[in-house]
Amino acid sequence: AQSVAQPEDQVNVAEGNPLTVKCTYSVSGNPYLFWYVQYPNRGLQFLLKYITGDNLVKGSYGFEAEFNKSQTSFHLKKPSALVSDSALYFCAVRDRTNAGKSTFGDGTTLTVKP
């Protein structure tokens, strides 16, 4: 069975400061890892994904994520937060050997204060 944990329900940062939203995963094989963002009253939007290769993945809106195989983590980062980054963030995993199943974390609410 595969699983995703987002240990923080809420992350608060000041505008201009760096942000990190944490994600750890468990999967039997080699994972594909994703970050999605949900703005109020909207569906989820894709931010970035890790497939293979470079452990640092760059995505939309200046976000990046670092894949760490030994720690089974895929933390989302941004060097300088914007108020408009405030949203609900989901980490997700898919297993190459069971492509239909998709497992999401519980979500982390990011609030960026001016």
Partner 1 sequence: EAQVTQNPRYLITVTGKKLTVTCSQNMNHEYMSWYRQDPGLGLRQIYYSMNVEVTDKGDVPEGYKVSRKEKRNFPLILESPSPNQTSLYFCASSPTTIALDTQYFGPGTRLTVL
Interface residues toward partner 1, by CB under 8 A: 6, 9, 32, 34, 36, 42-46, 49, 51, 90, 92, 94-96, 98-107
Nearest approach in angstroms of CB 58 to partner 1 is 15
Q: Which residues lie closer than 8 Å to 111 by C-beta, 6 or more apart?
A: 10, 11, 12, 13, 86
Nearest approach in angstroms of CB 86 to partner 1 is 18
Please say which residue, 44 or 82, places its beta carbon nearer to partner 1.
44
CA gap 86, 39 in Å, rounded: 8
